[in-house]
Amino acid sequence: MSWLVLFRHTIIHQLLQLYEINDMSYKLLLVAVAALNFFICYLLEILIDRGALNCLRNLRGKRESKKQYKRLDVHLAETPSWPPLNQPLFPS
């Protein structure tokens, strides 16, 4: 919507009954403030979305999975003697 600030004599200016600002530096200042506001809000959203949620997950701690295959995978990863490398595996 920065074109509302920069360009004059549009139909929207007449419909909204906006005042005419002749100073171009003031118009550019308004656009710069709007752009700065956008970037600050964007960075704050990224910080909250990624940073704060990851911190909350880390504070909560890691839970043990309810799925059996994941629990077995963790158990087998912790057991260095599995699979037995020096013995052939036979079906029982």
Q: How many residues appear in the chain?
A: 92
Render pLDDT for 43-83 as a digit per residue (tens, 0 to 9): 999 988 888 878 888 888 777 778 888 888 888 888 877 77
Six token digits for residue 85: 């490398």
pTM strictly above 0.85: no
Render pLDDT for 5-37 as a digit per residue (tens, 0 to 9): 676 667 877 787 877 778 888 888 988 999 999
Handedness of CA 34, 39, 44, 45 (dihedral sign): positive
CB contact set of 8 (below 8 Å; sequence gap of 6+): 20
